[in-house]
Amino acid sequence: MSTVAGEMDHHDHHHHAPSGITRWLFTTNHKDIGSMYLWFSFIMFLVGGSMAMVIRAELFQPGLQLVDPHFFNQMTTVHGLIMVFGAVMPAFTGLANWMVPMMIGAPDMALPRMNNWSFWILPFAFAILLASLFMEGGGPAFGWTFYAPLSTTYSSDSTALFVFSVHIMGISSIMGAINVIVTIMNMRAPGMTYMKMPLFVWTWFITAFLLIAVMPVLAGAVTMVLTDKYFGTSFFDAAGGGDPVLFQHIFWFFGHPEVYIMILPSFGIVSAIIPAFSRKKLFGYSSMVYATAAIAGLSFLVWAHHMFTTGMPVAAEIFFMYATMLISVPTGVKVFNWVATMWRGSISFETPMLFALAFVILFTIGGFSGLMLAITPVDFQYHDTYFVVAHFHYVLVSGAIFSIMAAAYYWLPKWTGHMYDETLAKWHFWCSLISVNVLFFPMHFAGLAGMPRRIPDYSLQFADINQIVSIGGFAFGLSQLIFLAVVIKCVRGGEKAPAKPWDGAEGLEWTVPSPAPYHTFETPPEVK
């Protein structure tokens, strides 16, 4: 550690940031790269959200109003891909870049040049994906899960661009994950043992191993799609001796751990915020670490619960049913520990705490609907209905996205050196909370009544419920503009933030001034 700090002193006599466009192009500073990831993910969030607006506008009334069914399918597909790979994952990577070195007392990430590279290939990946929408025959229209034969036999020529962009996203994720692991293993401050690391660092450490394990599986799946479509192989074509269900096995072996990649860092964020605003230590720290590891391990044993209706043997269905229900145990441990942390705490309700509380409650609703979907005979009814849409949006919007919002409000004073506008932030919270429930809660009932998902038209009986859902969707989308206003206002100025703006907050990041200096720890701090 000291040698690293010594080298940094040696190289860096000027302690100010370089300026202009080159600062951002060539930067190896973890804070700059973290900021670029966060802004990029927010832009992608707005792009993916505008696609959701197209979907909800079309579904406002039964019948075909605004877009043709093929374009509707392109919107559902690209909306999913952008939200998963362009909004949620880069936001978490941005938070990791910003906070992990500060939390463990490191001067920077371990592999700074690779860090720059892993960010800068992302805009090109999404430019390629979005450009495919303008090709003859349109962009990808086979769902974000790109099941064969929809993505092979029946897809348009833009499939090649889609495959290329997914490969680039995967490369970026793997490089980011390697960087996180190397940084955490090699650059912790003296005295910072593994079991003293903040939970956000732990959850990201485990997430990084998941990324390295499953991203190559996704690369394999898209490559097989590519060769089936363009090079005459038949991995997924029964006529040539292949099997379309094989695609689903490969995809979901990536896809289910991926779901946890998008929620584990949330657990770390909420485990930082709830103790800070309850002014108490986190209840059951070590059980939280083990529960995170258990969730990560079990996530590899449940992939086929997405495939109960594909005609698996009954023994396999029973195995995947029980394995899926088992994941709710470590998740329940986490929810219990958060509630126990708040118990008899001296709680105050600033915006980060509001988002964290909403996360706990709404994520739990998503968890319960997940338990319902885990029960095989019942899933035969729910499968591919709006019930599934409601389930995973509760986990990913009021789960992952809300935790990212909570993190942004929690660390904004540290990033910018200014306190954000609390009144405006509360407006953002309440508008988001109400609209997100108007948007997704009624979908449960539409799904239970049999409304299929990914369709541009529907039966007349679902007209009223879809109108309510669409209104909720537009309200939720517009609410995010308040968030943009809060962040811009905070960046531009405002009340000066102290080094520790939240009196219950713990951790090394609150020992440095706000805004955090360009180089944080020239000499590593001692952790007692």
Catalytic residue among 152, 165, 183, 271: 271
List 202, 204, 252, 260, catalytic entry: 260
Which residue in 56, 167, 256, 418 is the catalytic one? 256
Residue carrying the six token digits 């690369």: 219
Point out the catalytic residue in the list 228, 258, 350, 421. 258
What is the rounded CA–CA span in Å between residue 473 and residue 49?
A: 9
Reduce the DSSP state of residue 452 to 3 states and report it: strand
The residue from 118, 132, 152, 331 that is catalytic is 331
How many Å apart are CA 236 and CA 227, to the nearest integer? 10
Residue 453 a catalytic site member:
yes
Given the residues 426, 453, 454, 519, select the one marked as catalytic: 453
Catalytic pick among 334, 393, 418, 428: 334
Catalytic residue among 27, 93, 132, 173: 173
Give the length of the chain: 528
256 is catalytic: yes
The DSSP 8-state label assigned to residue 298 in this structure reads H
Whether 506 is a known active-site residue: answer no
Told to judge if 258 belongs to the known catalytic residues of this protein, a careful annotator would answer yes
3-state secondary structure 153-208: CCCCCCHHHHHHHHHHHHHHHHHHHHHHHHHHHHCCCCCCCHHHCCHHHHHHHHHH
Handedness of CA 139, 143, 147, 153 (dihedral sign): negative
* 14 tagged catalytic: no
Residue 262 and residue 477: Cα distance in Å, rounded?
Answer: 21
CB atoms within 10 A of CB 417: 18
- Is residue 172 annotated as part of the catalytic site, yes or no? yes
Q: Which of 30, 31, 56, 79 is catalytic?
A: 79
Catalytic residue, chosen from 30, 31, 305, 444, is 305
173 is annotated as an active-site residue: yes
Catalytic option among 108, 317, 350, 379: 108
Q: Pseudo-torsion of CA 339, 345, 346, 351, nearest 10°?
A: -20
**Is residue 391 annotated as part of the catalytic site, yes or no?**
no
The rounded distance, in Å, linking the Cα atoms of 148 and 153 is: 8
Closest by CA to 179, choosing from 122, 124, 108, is 108
Cross-strand partners of 496? 418
Catalytic, 144? Answer yes
Catalytic residue among 167, 306, 391, 414: 306
Taken in order 113, 115, 119, 122, the sign of the CA dihedral is positive
Catalytic residue among 24, 39, 117, 144: 144
Catalytic residue numbers read: 79, 108, 144, 172-173, 256, 258, 260, 271, 305-306, 331, 334, 453
